Structure formats: structure tokens, C-alpha cells
């Protein structure tokens, strides 16, 4: 995986990855899933990580989100979110950052979305988990979001 590095003013950087290396468990075909990658993401930017199968896209994203399985670990480097190194933060602290400070859209929406819940209920669930608003205000915001992405009949989609 190759990322271009561009110098940016520190106050403009929302996410900074420096020399990130993620080890794979012993006995695997290779020792690293990701080795020495670095990039900066400015505030307001959207990052799309693309590459061949097995190039480290998901491992990089999961490392940033603090969602690596226990058998895979960051062995070196830094992941700074708003200037705070998030490697080694407690699961509770990481959970409080996800969705509120940093988010990710998973490759496979079928594994990320629950077909037994309405779209609106899933949006509401995320907002409730982060202590956002009242049930009524969350419902209103969910309908706004469904409207923004151009879904037909957002009120119906909520239910």
C-alpha cells in the first residue's frame, strides 16, 4: 500500500499516521499486514483507502478505529487523532471517539447493517450511544440525514 505524504500545518491535521506497522500472528505467510505507512488527513477531508486484496486497507482502517482483533497488533508507529495518540487507549475511550470524532464506512454494508432493524433505528442507535439528543430530536435528525443522502420517502425509510 502506498500513500503520498504532503506537509500540512499541524492545526489542520485531524488524523496523522506515522510509520504504522501492524504485525500478523506468528505462522502466517508474512509477518506484517501493514508496514511503515504514513499519511495526514486534514480536517473536513474524506479518506478512501484503495488497493489490491490483502494490501492492508482493512487492517489500516481497523487500526485507526481501534477495532483490530486481539491476535493482530500495532507493533510500531503512531496514530494521532486531533493530536492525541490513540494507540493503547482503553476500549471505553475508543468507543467514545467512534462515530463522534472518527467514523468509517465498512467495505461490506451487509456485515455493518442489521437487516432486522430499520435504517432509522440504526441511525438513532448510534446517536443514542453517543448521548446525542432526545428520542424526538434523534428521529428528526435521522430523517434529515436520510433526506440528505437522497433516499426516497425518508419518513417511511425511518420506520
Domains of the chain: 10-105 (3.40.50.300), 113-158 (no CATH)
Three-class secondary structure of residue 11 per DSSP:
helix
Write out pLDDT tens, residues 118-158. Answer: 888 888 998 898 888 999 999 999 999 999 999 888 888 88
Write out pLDDT tens, residues 3-60. Answer: 544 554 556 899 999 999 999 999 988 999 999 999 999 988 888 888 898 899 989 9
Q: Are 30 and 24 in contact (CB under 8 A)?
A: yes
Q: How far apart are CA 77 and CA 87, in angstroms?
A: 9
Q: Enumerate the β-bridge partners of residue 64.
A: none
Query: pTM surpassing 0.85?
Result: no
Amino acid at each position: 500500500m502506498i500513500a503520498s505524504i504532503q506537509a500540512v500545518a499541524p492545526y489542520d491535521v485531524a488524523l496523522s499516521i506515522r510509520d504504522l506497522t501492524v504485525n500478523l500472528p506468528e505462522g502466517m505467510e508474512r509477518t506484517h499486514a501493514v508496514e511503515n505507512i504514513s499519511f495526514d488527513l486534514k480536517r473536513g477531508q474524506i479518506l478512501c483507502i484503495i488497493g489490491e486484496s490483502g494490501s492492508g486497507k482493512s487492517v489500516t482502517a481497523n487500526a485507526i478505529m481501534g477495532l483490530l482483533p486481539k491476535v493482530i497488533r500495532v507493533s510500531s508507529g503512531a496514530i494521532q487523532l486531533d493530536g492525541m495518540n490513540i494507540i493503547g487507549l482503553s476500549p471505553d475511550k475508543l468507543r467514545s471517539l467512534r462515530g463522534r470524532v472518527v467514523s468509517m464506512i465498512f467495505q461490506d454494508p451487509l456485515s455493518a447493517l442489521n437487516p432486522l432493524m430499520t435504517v432509522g433505528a440504526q441511525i438513532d442507535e448510534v446517536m443514542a450511544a453517543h448521548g446525542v439528543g432526545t428520542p424526538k430530536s434523534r428521529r428528526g435528525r435521522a430523517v434529515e440525514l436520510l433526506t440528505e443522502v437522497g433516499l426516497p420517502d425518508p419518513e417511511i425509510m425511518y420506520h
